[in-house]
Amino acid sequence: MVDRISVGEERFVLIIEGKEGTTGEALKQCLLLLQDARDQNGGGAVYGFITTGVFWQMLRYDGKFQMTNTMEVLFYSMEEEKGRWMKENSVVVDCMYAALSNGGIR
């Protein structure tokens, strides 16, 4: 699955869902699509995410690829452990905000 999120018609985030619990093929697809998106839009930085739904990873391409470590954002007891989720996993929300505000991976 590939989704694009538009904010003010200026920024897009590419999200690719890995099939069957693996992100290997999703990673390849995301890298190719990010390169194409940058080329088609005259340069700049473009951002994408790959996910299994449980695991997330952010990518940035500005002529050179950068990736975050894999983040596990869903776990069995997350409803009862809101504090743990906020501490360990809200980084995905922070990454999306950074991508949409053009802060990106530092």
* pLDDT tier for residue 15 given thresholds of 50, 70 and 90: low
What would the mean pLDDT of 22-30 be, rounded to a whole number?
A: 82
Helix (H) / strand (E) element for 54: namely none
Residue with the bigger pLDDT between 60 and 98: it is 60
pLDDT digits (tens, 9 = 90+) for 53-85: 778 888 889 999 999 888 777 777 777 878 877
Say what the pLDDT of residue 10 is: 53
What would the mean pLDDT of 8-13 be, rounded to a whole number?
A: 54
Helix (H) / strand (E) element for 30: namely helix 24-40
Contacts of 77 (CB under 8 A, 6+ apart): none
Phi–psi pair at 70, nearest 5 degrees:
-70, 135
Say what the pLDDT of residue 5 is: 47
Domain boundaries of the chain, sorted by first residue: 2-100
